[in-house]
């Protein structure tokens, strides 16, 4: 398939194409941290790509296990195909720079005798291998476990992977086309923001289904699967699932043509983006930074009065500024906050966002869940701060990095992310509950929980300076899996306690005091590296 004659007929330079493809695959399989480690910790032997595949296999097997035996083949296929689309889109977009377009290409290849067609073909094929790997991870369990369903036959073994391939290629191509259309000016950043919001909307949809199941003590999933809403049947994945479940091929054939056309369009788009975006090289332009009023005020007062030393004030200002200005950092943070945002948007919409202080009702669960979800974002937010394009400048931070610097980072995260969110959320609660005491109490308790958890995890995640590592595929999640799981468990426990004590003012007050004392007694992390 990749013979020199074929490539030449396609207008691709064979030797440069193969060299670039070999290079891209090699870089995919290497982690970013090997060079820094001389005594490798076990985790650093594994490439970030492995973590991505591992996560997807885990999600896939869990979904299949939940559905197995409970739903018919059509719903089984629709669910798995939809999850494939969602995760494929996220994987491509959030790690776009590593997966599809690396700005380093311009510097390395741009002045070489390599045509845009050759470069873009190598990038597309490399992306295709990445899509194939992710697609396999998301397809493997539904294909094999689906064979065990009572209403599937041997044709499932062929039709489901076919449908999954259509979804994978179509979704990845769609993400690339979106980039090609919107990526001018800041390659990838606009697309990442769009994708982050798409994720939020998709998670809203998942929550909608999830709350239908949670609302009923039993049978929620089976009921939903047996009588899904009409819009489910309109999903592209549902059409494909029709064929998969019935042994048909019409929609599969149509899907193959459409996804093939999209892949070709993506190739053209990527090539065009190279010649247009790369040549304009917008990263070269000088950007004037005019700090907003809030930035100026905060940076000025914080450095001088809130912190005991200028060093801590400077760390606060640096963290706050990076959280405000670094588009990549913001894009990585958005998905972490998407779950909580989804719950906070969905709850009021479906009328299940009651005041926990008013009593133990199922309607009061979702506000607590919002907070639990916000707390679970803490490990990701702190871990994201360790990555930066300017990581080589970290030598400036190392000499005096310690507990106080870590505390300054925590304060900046509070100031830039959590406090504004809590305040906005508090206004929403006041509007819904018409109870200022309840809204204030909720906001205070939420802040105390966030602060306690942040202090606890900072010992692990802020022990070294922020902004010290180059960005790496999958590294936003893989290395903090244990911490994230622990935080999730702790947040759930605290949320459960909160739900129980909320209707009793004395207990609630005691809970708040306990949180405050616990937080104050935690020694902030930040041992010198």
| Residue 37 or 261 with smaller CB distance to other proteins | 37
| Residue 269 or 313 with smaller CB distance to other proteins | 269
Q: How many residues does the chain have?
A: 529
Integer Cα distance of 472 and 48 in angstroms = 7
Cβ at position 170, least distance to other proteins in Å: 23
DSSP H helix total and E strand total for the chain: 24, 0
In this structure, the dihedral spanned by the alpha carbons of residues 433, 439, 443 and 449, taken in order and rounded to 10 degrees, is -70
Cβ at position 128, least distance to other proteins in Å: 16
| Residue 34 or 197 with smaller CB distance to other proteins | 34
Which of 201, 220, 199, 222 has its CA nearest to residue 211? Answer: 220
Integer Cα distance of 493 and 497 in angstroms = 6
Cβ at position 127, least distance to other proteins in Å: 17
Integer Cα distance of 201 and 191 in angstroms = 15
Cβ at position 61, least distance to other proteins in Å: 7
| Residue 278 or 382 with smaller CB distance to other proteins | 278
Cβ at position 221, least distance to other proteins in Å: 8
| Residue 310 or 360 with smaller CB distance to other proteins | 360
| Residue 20 or 374 with smaller CB distance to other proteins | 20
What are the tokens at 251? 């929609």
Cβ at position 258, least distance to other proteins in Å: 28
Q: Are 40 and 193 in contact (CB under 8 A)?
A: no
- Rounded to the nearest angstrom, the gap between the alpha carbon of residue 243 and the centroid of all alpha carbons in its chain is 31
- Within 10 Å of residue 69's Cβ, how many Cβ atoms? 11
Integer Cα distance of 434 and 436 in angstroms = 6
Cβ at position 513, least distance to other proteins in Å: 35
| Residue 234 or 286 with smaller CB distance to other proteins | 286
515 HSE (CA, 13 A, CB side): 24
Residue 385: which region, alpha, beta or left (left: phi > 0; alpha: psi -120 to 50)?
A: alpha
Burial of 14 (0-12, 13-18, 19+ CB in 10 A): middle
Cβ at position 136, least distance to other proteins in Å: 6
Integer Cα distance of 356 and 363 in angstroms = 8
Q: Are 426 and 344 in contact (CB under 8 A)?
A: no
Which of 20, 17, 22 has its CA nearest to residue 5? Answer: 17
| Residue 116 or 163 with smaller CB distance to other proteins | 116
Q: Are 243 and 250 in contact (CB under 8 A)?
A: yes
Angle at 473 between CA 82 and CA 272, to 5 degrees: 75
Integer Cα distance of 249 and 240 in angstroms = 9
Cβ at position 11, least distance to other proteins in Å: 10
| Residue 2 or 65 with smaller CB distance to other proteins | 65
Cβ at position 334, least distance to other proteins in Å: 27
| Residue 146 or 525 with smaller CB distance to other proteins | 146
């Amino acid at each position: 398939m990749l013979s020199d004659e074929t490539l030449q007929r396609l207008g691709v330079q064979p030797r440069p194409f193969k060299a670039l493809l070999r290079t891209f695959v090699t870089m995919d399989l290497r982690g970013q941290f090997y060079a820094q480690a001389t005594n490798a910790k076990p985790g650093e032997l594994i490439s970030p790509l492995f973590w991505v595949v591992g996560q997807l296999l885990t999600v896939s097997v869990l979904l299949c296990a939940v559905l197995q035996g409970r739903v018919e083949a059509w719903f089984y296929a629709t669910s798995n195909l939809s999850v494939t689309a969602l995760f494929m889109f996220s994987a491509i977009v959030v790690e776009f720079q590593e997966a599809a377009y690396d700005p380093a290409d311009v510097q390395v290849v741009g002045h070489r005798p390599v045509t845009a067609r050759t470069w873009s073909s190598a990038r597309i094929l490399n992306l295709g291998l990445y899509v194939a790997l992710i697609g396999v991870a998301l397809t493997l369990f539904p294909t094999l476990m689906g064979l065990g369903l009572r209403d599937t036959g041997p044709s499932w073994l062929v039709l489901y992977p076919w449908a999954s391939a259509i979804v994978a290629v179509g979704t990845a191509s769609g993400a690339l086309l979106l980039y090609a259309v919107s990526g001018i000016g800041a390659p990838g950043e606009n697309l990442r923001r769009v994708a982050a919001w798409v994720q939020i909307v998709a998670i809203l949809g998942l929550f909608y289904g999830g709350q239908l199941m949670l609302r009923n003590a039993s049978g929620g999933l089976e009921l939903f699967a047996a009588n899904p809403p009409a819009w489910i049947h309109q999903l592209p994945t549902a059409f494909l699932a029709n064929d998969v479940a019935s042994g048909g091929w019409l929609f599969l054939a149509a899907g193959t043509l459409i996804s093939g056309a999209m892949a070709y369009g993506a190739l053209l788009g990527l090539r065009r983006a190279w010649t247009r975006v790369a040549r304009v090289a917008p990263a070269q332009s000088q950007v004037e930074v005019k700090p907003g009023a809030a930035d100026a005020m905060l940076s000025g007062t914080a450095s001088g009065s809130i912190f005991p030393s200028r060093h801590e004030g400077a760390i606060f200002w640096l963290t706050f500024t990076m959280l405000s200005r670094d588009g990549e950092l913001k894009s990585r943070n958005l998905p972490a906050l998407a779950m909580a945002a989804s719950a906070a948007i969905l709850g009021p919409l479906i009328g299940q966002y009651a005041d926990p202080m008013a009593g133990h009702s199922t309607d009061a669960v979702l506000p607590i869940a919002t907070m639990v979800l916000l707390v679970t974002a803490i490990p990701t937010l702190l871990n994201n701060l360790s990555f930066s394009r300017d990581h080589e400048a970290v030598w400036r931070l190392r000499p005096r990095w310690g507990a106080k610097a870590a505390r300054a980072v925590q304060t900046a995260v509070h100031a830039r992310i959590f406090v504004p969110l809590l305040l906005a959320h508090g206004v929403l609660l006041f509007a819904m509950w018409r109870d200022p005491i309840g809204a204030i109490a909720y906001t205070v308790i939420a802040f105390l929980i966030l602060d306690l958890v942040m202090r606890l995890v900072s010992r692990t995640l802020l022990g070294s300076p922020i902004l010290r590592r180059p960005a790496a595929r999958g590294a936003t999640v893989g290395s903090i899996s244990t911490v994230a799981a622990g935080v999730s468990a702790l947040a759930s426990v605290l949320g459960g306690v909160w739900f129980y004590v909320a209707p009793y003012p004395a207990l609630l007050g005691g809970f708040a005091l306990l949180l405050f004392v616990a937080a104050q007694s935690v020694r902030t992390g930040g041992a010198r590296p």
